Homo-oligomer: A and B are copies of this chain.
Amino acid sequence: MTERAVCVIGTGLIGGSLMRAAEKAGRAVWGTSASEDTAAEARADGFDVTTDTDDALRRAADADALVVLAVPLPVLPEVLRRVDAVAPEVRLTDAVSVKVAVADAVARYAPRARYVGGHPMAGTSESGWSAGLAELFVDAAWVVAADDGLDLDVWRDVAELAWACGARVVPAAADEHDLAVARVSHLPHLLAAVLAAVGAGGDDALPLALAAGSFADGTRVAGTRPELVLAMCEGNRDALLGAVDDALGRLGAMRGALASTGGLTATVFAGHAGRERWAASRDPKGVKVSLKGRAPLAALRAVGRRGAVVSGWKA
């Protein structure tokens, strides 16, 4: 197993946690921040962080390191142009919350990079270097894109980095990932926002005064910084429209049943069954895979589709 060095571009909550986790796992790791203050803060914590992206990328090319892009989607083109200029064939992954848009940007701005998309499904309501935690990814799902044509050697690098951080490797095609997170990550943020607005939208303060556990839990993620929610959800527009339409359809059918028969049985039992299915999915089966043989990427995608995770390599 290669203990490949890691170069992290962007040292916010995700990038900063990744640097801490990779270092703890014994990897050589360096990074860059767009902010001199953040870089100084990270150096004060003992990490090798500068603002010189070109230099960091050159070191990555020289060391054959894995570069991880942990910057917001809107900043990607600028960073990818530097990759193409300085380290055009570098091993490249990312930690951005959508996968099709990132793959498109890489194809356009750094087409020679050996890119395999990634998405560690972890976070807190905090942000910035100081919020980072070496343990952030422990037992979290870490999606590794498994579209045809990817570099299998880099696929191995990304999976091994995820394992080094304590995460579970979930292979998925980029578009399947985007559809899935629209349902289970982006839609929850939008429903939480709608619920919070309805609860706070009355003419007086009585509803909020009576709001207890169900409202507190149902609106928790509405407390996230709006800019982060917007970047995440708006970057997944097409997939999100489908998820919103599904929710609208179910809510509309429920409204009709409530108005006509007064009955909510179908809605409430379907929701209960869904929650039970989620609870039953919390301890996924780990399978060992091979990156050799015929169509290894199709086999990887099948692992993710059946709710399992990749736990190691076949001997």
Residues of B within 8 A of A233 (CB): 264, 268
Asked if A307 and B209 make an inter-chain contact with CB atoms under 8 angstroms apart, the answer reads yes
A243 contacts partner chain B, Cβ-Cβ < 8 Å: yes
Say whether A214 contacts B189, CB under 8 Å.
yes
**One of B184, B255, B305 near A245 (C-beta < 8 A):** B255
Distance in angstroms from A269 CB to nearest chain B CB is: 5
> Once bound together, how far apart are the Cα atoms of A309 and B208, in whole Å?
12
Interface of A is mostly: helix
Q: How far is the CA of A269 from the CA of B194 in the complex (A)?
A: 10
Residue of B nearest to A205 (CB): B307
Q: Report chain B residues within 8 Å CB of A179.
A: 202, 207
- Known A180-B210, A258-B241: A272·B223 in contact at CB below 8 Å: yes
Residues of A within 8 A of B (CB): 121-123, 140-141, 143, 170, 172, 176-177, 179-181, 183-185, 187-202, 204-224, 226, 229-230, 233-234, 237, 240-241, 243-248, 250-252, 254-255, 258-259, 262-265, 267-279, 281, 284, 304-309
The complex is assembled from copies of this chain, and their number is 2
Contact present for B212 and A268 (CB under 8 Å): no
CB-CB < 8 A to A219: which residues of B? 271, 274-275, 278
In the assembled complex, the Cα of A197 lies from the Cα of B277 at a distance in Å of 10
Judging by beta carbons under 8 Å apart, are B220 and A268 in contact? Answer: no
**Judging by beta carbons under 8 Å apart, are B121 and A196 in contact?**
no
A248/B250 in contact, CB under 8 A: no
Provide the bound-state CA to CA distance between A246 and B194, in Å: 9
Q: For A141, what are the chain B residues with a Cβ–Cβ distance below 8 Å?
A: 209-210, 212
Inter-chain contact B188/A278, CB cutoff 8 Å: no
